[in-house]
Amino acid sequence: MKFALVGNGYWGSKLLRNLVALVGGERVVVAEPSDARRAAAVASHPAIGTSRSLDEVLDDPDVGAVVLATPVTTHAELTEAALTAGRDVLVEKPLTASVATSRRLVAVAEAHGRVLMVGHTFLFSPRVQWIASYLHGGGADQIHYLTSSRLNLGIHRSDVNVIWDLAPHDFSVVFHLLGEFPVTIATSTRAIVHPGHPDTAFMNLTFPSGVIAEVAVSWLAPRKVRTLTLVADSGMLVYDDVDPEEPVKIHDRGVVIDDSADFGLHQLTYRYGDTRSPHIPVEEPLARQLAHFESAVRRRTTPISDGRFGHQVVAALEAADRSWRDGGTPAVVDAGIDELAVRE
């Protein structure tokens, strides 16, 4: 079986490098309308095949899976074409630009029995996967809240605002770690560089379990920030993706309450225990993501970032975007499909 990569731009070239390493160049076909980009792909990987369009790729019966690295505005049309042609699809995040179109893709994939996976790459970071295993394995009991920040100076995009550009990363990680999806989202934004086009957003999320989360994203910050803080009864966890040495730290800290029948006799004491940083091997998340997709295609299993998960992220993005347009009023996250637990 061959894999077709549609789009060989900045991100597509990274996918191509990892895809060739995974399955071999002779099993990869690049569909790209640009002559220069096709030539660049062949120059780097001489064994690959090339095509000008997805339609040409779908005419090849040896192509069984499609990887889409095209602008989000094309995702709905191209993904549906590949699914209805009987191909499994990995599409870059977000799944689509609206709940209506992402819901349709989930229905099409399930009706045709095809694998639909969304490229939420951070879910395949060894660091995020370590945290997920720690939490799902009982490393933290009652989780109270999370904060997540993704800040940098640039790149200002004209096709989408900062919510649709950066928040998919944080939303996917938070939803995966918590194992649930939000109920409401309230968003405050500023459009500093281009009026009406937010480049900074603060989003407050509520979850069915009672957990609350704050996600901050910005294209206008003095330094690169990629942090997540999780506070639970048993301790606190800090994940700093920019830290090359100790990206994950577990802090044995918290508040101890001595129960008393008399409110005035309640005594608060603070626990200051050890801090530990686990060793987490370095491995490229994109390589792990593609290996996960290839395995799902071969074994007919459900990816952790399947179509339903990707659809829930789109629903959250749409709610966050709707909230700031309504003056920051909390928006209900309405995915329009049955509520599902996040697949671990």
| Distance in angstroms (rounded) separating the CA atoms of residues 236 and 210 | 18
Helix (H, G, I), strand (E, B) or coil at 209: coil
In the three-class reduction of DSSP (H, G, I as helix; E, B as strand; rest coil), residue 82 is classed as helix
- Give the residue ranges of the chain where pLDDT is below 50: 339-344
Q: b/e map of 24-63 (b: 16 or more CB within 10 Å)? A: ebebbbbbbeeeebbebbeeebeebbbbeebeebbeeeeb
In this predicted model, what pLDDT tens digit does every residue of 249-279 receive, in sequence order?
999 877 766 665 565 555 666 667 789 999 9
| Cα–Cα separations (whole angstroms), residue 196 to 166, 189, 324 | 17, 10, 11
Model pLDDT, residue 260: 59
Pick the closest to residue 182 from 312, 95, 321, 326 (CA basis): 312
DSSP assignment, residue 195? T
pLDDT in the model for residue 262? 61
Q: Which of 27, 45, 34, 39 is nearest to 7 (CA)?
A: 34
User: What is the assigned CATH class of domain 2-121+286-306?
Assistant: alpha beta
Distance CA 248, CA 251 (A): 10
Cα 224 off chain centre by = 19
Q: Measuring CA to CA, which residue among 115, 94, 118, 124 is closest to residue 1?
A: 115
The string of pLDDT tens digits covering residues 211-259 is 999 999 999 999 999 999 999 988 899 999 999 999 999 998 777 666 6
Matching CATH number, 123-282+312-332, of 1.10.1070.20, 3.30.360.10, 3.30.450.30, 3.20.20.70: 3.30.360.10
User: pTM for the complete prediction?
Assistant: 0.92
Sequence spans of domains, the chain: 2-121+286-306, 123-282+312-332
